[in-house]
Amino acid sequence: MHKKKQNRGGFNERHPELETGEVWFVNIMLLPHFSSEVNERSIVDAWSDLANRYKTVRLGKVAYDRHGKGLPELRPVFIQKSERDARPN
């Protein structure tokens, strides 16, 4: 039986900031906008980790949920599709 590939990103599969050859990768928080419990160091470390692990990683400006609703506390991250496809799951 053939399984249909899930559309995990929803709206983000067509994100308006996508550049040629890119795919939406994840939304991340850069600054603690709404919770004093957010550890600012862990936010910086999360972006640094992505930037160190992926050569083609790029930070976008406006993040969306899978239905297209804006998420002002988050930012989208994009990478080249070829880099994503070359990495093991």
Residue predicted with more confidence, 38 or 1: 38
4 located within any domain: no
For residue 46, what pLDDT is reported?
77
CB 26 within 8 A of CB 53: no
For residue 1, what pLDDT is reported?
40
Task: Give residue 88's pLDDT band: very low, low, confident or very high (50, 70, 90).
Answer: confident
pLDDT tens-digit readout, 5-59: 445 679 999 999 999 999 999 999 876 555 555 555 555 667 888 889 999 999 9
Q: How far apart are CA 15 and CA 25, in angstroms?
A: 11
pTM for this entry: 0.76
Q: How far apart are CA 62 and CA 72, in angstroms?
A: 7
5 located within any domain: no
Range of the domain at 55: 10-86
CA distances for 8 relative to 13, 35, 65, 73, angstroms: 8, 27, 11, 20
74 located within any domain: yes
- What the block records as the tokens of 8 is 């995990």
28 located within any domain: yes
55 located within any domain: yes
**Looking at the 3D structure of the chain, how many domains does it have?**
1
36 located within any domain: yes
Q: How far apart are CA 37 and CA 13, in angstroms?
A: 31
For residue 48, what pLDDT is reported?
83
- What the block records as the tokens of 59 is 């930070």
31 located within any domain: yes
